[in-house]
Amino acid sequence: MTDAVTLIRAKRDGLRLTDDDIRWLFEAYAKGEVADEQMSALLMAIYFRGLDSRELRTWTAAMIASGERLDLSSLARPTVDKHSTGGVGDKVSLILAPLVASCGAAVPQLSGRGLGHTGGTLDKLESIPGFRTALTPAETLDVLATAGCVICAAGSGLAPADRRLYALRDVTGTVESIPLIASSIMSKKIAEGTAALVLDVKVGTGAFMKSRDQARALAQTMVALGEEHNVRTRALLTTMDTPLGRAVGNAVEVAESVMALRGDGPPDLMEVTLALAAQMLALAGIEAAPSTRSDPAAAIADGRALAAYRAMVRAQGGDPDAPLPQPAHVTRALPAPADGWLTRLDALAVGTAAWRLGAGRERKEDPVSAAAGLICLAKPGDQVRKGQPLVELRADDPERFRGALAALEHAIEVTGQPPPPLPSPVIDVIGP
């Protein structure tokens, strides 16, 4: 007879959990036969002892089995999704989903909200007047059929065990566990029914994974989980030491995304976006030959990507022509301390400043400001003059500027010599 205390002791002592143990655990937890305190204790044991590949495969399968799965078989196009582990200024999804859709794939993107210094795709899109992110499965399929892409919240029926477990991890200091992170992300992505998945695993000061070794381990774990569950999966490691693009916030990132879809996006943002698009199309079985209708660069140049974005916004109740929210106060800036070259603009500090301006939240239930955020007027490698504004701060409440400027106090570095050319933001590709 299996019981929770026996499983806690087994994992505490470094023993592996059997498939039957794990399946029983999730079924008993769903019935209320395993208390939150007991599940929390087991999560802490996993935090220290880990899960081997078989345990993790079964753990993830049990999370998927805790709810329903989205059936995308009615779609005529091949399906492929993308997931980012989160960063600062990471508005890639807003550009990427319609871009890949305009090249012939269907992109069912289930996204999340921001927490702390990392922004949330749903918060950004909800700054568009009328845009709906809470869709039923039927509505999700309708938008996919109409626009070729959808960006919405995961329904409550998809991997509900993950929602409960994440809430426990959040308050028990067990978030930073590679097997628990991997199973959390992949259970939802597998449950959404996509045939292929590309992961954008961020690494650097503004990312969840600070080192390349950590990021690589997480990427390899998630790729293996996807392949084991018959989802073609590949991961890119990309840098997150500096904000991606120039805009950090909600409405400001939507505006920059539209600029990118019009062909006027910042180089670092476009390099990451196009690299991910190429991998998504490859996994979807679509050959993205240059200057063809399946070429992402051509889809931006001829307006198809922007048209797909506008179609998605309309299909989700939004008005792509409506003015985006503007802040009540825009007159704060961070000046350059000296003449020279900007060599550092720390992503974590910029993300923290955006959060303090009101663009982010400390707790999941906190509201966010659609208009708050920052514009990076200079990026590392740029030559600057003393007193030149480097970052523009936007907020609805002027009291928020003090905390945001304090967060940026040590965020920048200006030197007398030009830095070496910046390396590509794409570090590596992992997977088959």
For residue 252, what are the CA distances in angstroms to 36, 90, 125, 270, 354? 40, 12, 11, 17, 11
Catalytically active residues, by annotation? 83, 162, 169, 184, 188
Interior/surface letters 290-306, b for 16+ CB within 10 angstroms, e for the rest: eeeebbbbbbbeeebbb
* Kind of pairing between the strands at 412-415 and 426-430: unpaired
CA distance 197 to 368: 29
User: Nearest Cα to 222, choosing from 177, 174, 272, 185?
Assistant: 185
